[in-house]
Amino acid sequence: MRKEIKQTWHFNQSPEEVWEYLTKPELIEQWLMKNDFQPIVGHKFRFTFTAKPNSKYEGVVDCKVLEVKPFTKLSYSWNGSTQDKSRNYNSIVVWTLVPKDNGTELQLQHNGFVVLEDILAHTEGWKSCLKKMEESLKTMKP
């Protein structure tokens, strides 16, 4: 079962140029969301968006900068909630920039969903456990 998101994108621009789009609020806003980001470890910031009327998710993501390695790596916590406040998800977003083919390979990892990880860490074996149960049920007579 999947418990994280991993995507790899290639850009023709240099890591320096891509980095700007990950760290300058007015540039981030162009492709992601409104924000008050600053590339300073410990800085707390918010992404805000207008949630669609039928969306489950609330229009605010609370974040904190965790790691800043210029042109190489950026990570922040990503904590949000649903409109009705019934679900809170705490997670971590990690950006990694690697120079490649005269451009940049941008890797995104979105993981550490706190509500999920405890449980998913332990679900690997659940299928085999079901199978064992099935077998023991077969051999048991009521």
Partner 1 sequence: MRTQTLDAFQVIADPSRRQMLQLLSKKSLTINSLAENFDMSRPAVSKHIKILYGAGFISITGIGRERHCILKQDGFNELQDFINYFDKFWTTKLSKLQTILNNKANK
Residue 37 found at the interface with partner 1 (CB under 8 A): no
Choose, by CB under 8 A, the member of 25, 67, 126, 135 that binds partner 1: 126
**Distance separating alpha carbons of residues 71 and 64, to the nearest angstrom:** 19
Binding to partner 1 (CB under 8 A): which residues in 79-118? 86-89, 106, 108, 110, 113, 115-116, 118
**Residue 53 per-residue DSSP state:** T
Residue 64 found at the interface with partner 1 (CB under 8 A): no
Q: Which of 63, 65, 35 is nearest to 49 (CA)?
A: 35
Question: Do residues 45 and 66 make contact, with C-beta atoms less than 8 angstroms apart?
Answer: no
Residue 45 found at the interface with partner 1 (CB under 8 A): no
> How many residues of this chain bind partner 1 (CB under 8 A)?
41
